[in-house]
Amino acid sequence: MNFAHLVVQRLDALAQISEDEGGLTRSFASPAMRRVNDLVGSWMRDAGMSVCTDAIGNLIGHYPAATPAGKILLLGSHLDTVRDAGKFDGPLGVLVALACVQFLNETKTRLPFAIEVIGFADEEGVRYQSTYLGSRALAGTFNCEDLKRTDARGVTMAEALREFGGTPDAIAAARMDASRLLGYVEVHIEQGPVLEQKNLAVGVVSAITGQTRARIAFVGEAGHAGTVPMNLRRDSLCAAAEFVLAIEELAKDRSGLVATVGEITAMPGAGNVIPGQTKLSLDVRHPDDVTRSQTCDELKLRADEIAAGRSVIMNWETVHESAAVVCERRLALLLENATKCHQGEAPLLASGAGHDAAAMAAICPVAMLFVRCKGGVSHNPAEFASEADIGVAIEVMNDFVKSLAKSK
Ligand code: HGY
Ligand code: MN
Ligand code: MN
């Protein structure tokens, strides 16, 4: 069986399941997520796995150990996407993991441990701005307060989850038993240019950067675009614009720091009305948590100064924080050894992107394998990983699983 080709075919099939006509978007607890869970669940059954969906909508396939007392190796990634996404970010990790189990099943191989392949319910946080919902539920770090968050249509997370078929009240019980876990290993497209520059198919992740996400609002005064003199305006959009450039200026000056405003909304949103309120998102990341936290404090002060200078009000709500995570050395070494067998060298890369592994690190050791990403382009329909590189990733993961079994 050409498992790499099978993964590519399945990626194409999943890319057709979207809540948007024009592009690939799958958000938490949406009908599109339901359809993807059903399709991937059928592939899991074909690979000899028993399948369930947990309280928050994670899809979990179980491939039993040779002995019932065996521990569990967790593999997988997320099945939700950003807006207008590429087809690899998330599903690639689930499908490579599934290919490894299918290989074991077809060769009638049982290991001293079980394997569970997880398709996480929400890593991107597009619908409710809080990310890692699925992995936090399994890690026991889910914040039940998040269930009260509302989406753009005013639907709470709890209502959306019930409509999806989940059980908000049972999320706390979804936490996995840490004593049974060997670790969580995630394969993911690199989403950066390093492997392409090194002309290598895969690389091993050393650490995952920490991130802060905030929602900021500048509140001024709506007014008539034709009659309010410039010196009498309290224009919230101009305040936001000045702040966006201040963010960029500070981030350019601070090595290793990235800061992004991905969303901005001016209200009431009419061409002849001075915006009374402007809302924006902020995403701040740095490998060092103290630097990231200090930067957020500085940006909050700067936003306050800009607001005061324009006689507008500034509201700041931090909606997500995740600390930087170091991948577990023993698992990473097994990945490195397996990688060296297939490409001669095993580069270590830090991840600027967040991953479910960052949340799973709260309950078990984690490691990640990156797959070369064409032009480093991601969170973009042009995102691409080659069938040949996917084939290397599958081989490396098969060898990783074998070496882990031998080390038991
Ligand atoms: O935003 C991220 O880093 C990831 O794609 N969720
Ligand atoms: Mn991802
Ligand atoms: Mn992503």
Q: Which ligand ends up closest to the CA of 190? A: 2
**How much is the pLDDT for 108?**
97
- Residues 81 and 186 placed together within one structural domain of the fold: yes
Write the burial class of residue 154 (CB in 10 Å: 0-12 exposed, 13-18 middle, 19+ buried).
exposed
**How much is the pLDDT for 185?**
98
- Residues 43 and 14 placed together within one structural domain of the fold: yes
- Of ligand 1's listed atoms, the one at least distance from the Cα of 89 is 5
Torsion of CA 176, 94, 135, 255, to 10 degrees: 140
- Of ligand 1's listed atoms, the one at least distance from the Cα of 283 is 1
Q: Which residue among 77, 82, 84, 284 is best mutated to probe the pocket of ligand 1, counting the most ligand atoms within 8 A of its Cβ?
A: 82
CB atoms within 10 A of CB 61: 26
Nearest residue (CA) to ligand 1, atom 6: 124
CATH number at residue 219: 3.30.70.360
354 ligand 1 Cβ < 6 A: yes
Q: Which ligand ends up closest to the CA of 123? A: 1
- Residues 224 and 308 placed together within one structural domain of the fold: yes
- Total domains in the chain come to 2
Of the residues 322, 347, 371, the one at which a domain ends: 322
Cα distance between residue 405 and residue 407, in whole Å: 5
The position carrying tokens 């490998």 is: 287
Cα distance between residue 85 and residue 18, in whole Å: 10
What letter would DSSP give residue 156?
Answer: B
- Of ligand 1's listed atoms, the one at least distance from the Cα of 191 is 5
353 ligand 1 Cβ < 6 A: yes
Q: Are 321 and 358 in contact (CB under 8 A)?
A: no
Q: Supply φ then ψ for residue 189, to 5 degrees.
A: -65, 140
Q: Which residue among 27, 83, 191 is best mutated to probe the pocket of ligand 1, counting the most ligand atoms within 8 A of its Cβ?
A: 191
Residue 228 Cα to ligand 3 middle (Å): 43
**How much is the pLDDT for 1?**
84
- Of ligand 1's listed atoms, the one at least distance from the Cα of 211 is 3
Q: Are 120 and 134 in contact (CB under 8 A)?
A: yes
Residue from 404, 389, 6 nearest 198 by CA: 389
Of the residues 290, 322, 354, the one at which a domain ends: 322
Residue 122 Cα to ligand 2 middle (Å): 10
- Residues 226 and 203 placed together within one structural domain of the fold: no
272-303 in b/e form (b: 16+ CB < 10 A) is eebbbbbbbbbbbbbbebebbbebbeebbebb
Residue 379 Cα to ligand 3 middle (Å): 6
Of the residues 301, 322, 343, the one at which a domain ends: 322
**How much is the pLDDT for 408?**
74
- Residues 267 and 368 placed together within one structural domain of the fold: no
23-58 in b/e form (b: 16+ CB < 10 A) is bbbbbbbbebbbbbbebbbebbeebbbebebbbbbb
- Of ligand 1's listed atoms, the one at least distance from the Cα of 124 is 6
**How much is the pLDDT for 217?**
98
- Residues 333 and 389 placed together within one structural domain of the fold: yes
- Of ligand 1's listed atoms, the one at least distance from the Cα of 78 is 6
CB atoms within 10 A of CB 316: 14
Cα distance between residue 275 and residue 195, in whole Å: 45
Range of the domain at 79: 3-208+324-407
- Residues 292 and 385 placed together within one structural domain of the fold: no
Q: Are 146 and 133 in contact (CB under 8 A)?
A: yes
The series of mean pLDDT values per 10 residues for the chain, 408 residues long, is 96 97 96 98 98 98 93 98 98 98 97 98 94 97 96 97 97 96 98 97 97 97 98 98 98 95 97 98 96 97 98 96 95 97 95 97 98 97 98 98 92
247 ligand 1 Cβ < 6 A: no
CATH number at residue 175: 3.40.630.10
Cis peptide before 268 (omega within 30 of 0): yes
124 ligand 1 Cβ < 6 A: yes
- Of ligand 1's listed atoms, the one at least distance from the Cα of 285 is 3
- pLDDT tens for residues 376-396? 999 999 999 999 999 999 999
**How much is the pLDDT for 10?**
98
Report field, pTM of the whole predicted structure over 0.85: yes
Tokens of 33: 């997520």
- Residues 72 and 182 placed together within one structural domain of the fold: yes
Residue from 104, 186, 101, 128 nearest 364 by CA: 186
123 ligand 1 Cβ < 6 A: yes
- Residues 129 and 34 placed together within one structural domain of the fold: yes
- Residues 233 and 345 placed together within one structural domain of the fold: no
Q: Are 186 and 95 in contact (CB under 8 A)?
A: no
Residue 170 Cα to ligand 1 middle (Å): 26
**How much is the pLDDT for 385?**
98
- Residues 180 and 220 placed together within one structural domain of the fold: no
Residue from 139, 135, 137, 148 nearest 170 by CA: 137
- Residues 191 and 155 placed together within one structural domain of the fold: yes
90 ligand 1 Cβ < 6 A: no
Residue 383 Cα to ligand 1 middle (Å): 14
Q: Which ligand ends up closest to the CA of 125? A: 1
Residue from 59, 61, 60, 72 nearest 111 by CA: 72
**How much is the pLDDT for 13?**
98
- The CA-atom distances, in angstroms, between 67 and each of 111, 113, 117, 397 are 8, 8, 18, 22
Q: Are 352 and 286 in contact (CB under 8 A)?
A: no
